[in-house]
Amino acid sequence: MSVPALSSPCIKVCAIDGETGWCLGCGRTLQEVAAWVKLGPDGRQAVDAALPERMDTLKALGKLGPQT
């Protein structure tokens, strides 16, 4: 019996923005990245729900390059 893989928003662009504390690749905080496995499905879903708004904020602040 295999264990299902944990889904992660990581895109292997790991750089934390000093102003917001969010990763420029996925939008998570360092604490969220470190706790990802321990958060459980509900915790990961809650973090995932916040990421689109965080990434939009980072883009509006000019922290991200042009995206298609």
pTM of the model: 0.84
Each residue's pLDDT, cut to its tens digit, for the chain (68 residues) gives 554 556 899 999 999 999 999 999 999 999 999 999 999 999 999 999 999 999 999 999 999 976 54
Alpha carbon distance 40, 1 (integer Å): 20
Query: Could you report how far apart the first and last alpha carbons of the chain are, in Å?
Result: 40
Render 12-38 in DSSP notation, one character per residue.
Answer: S---B-TTT-BBTTT--BHHHHHHHHH
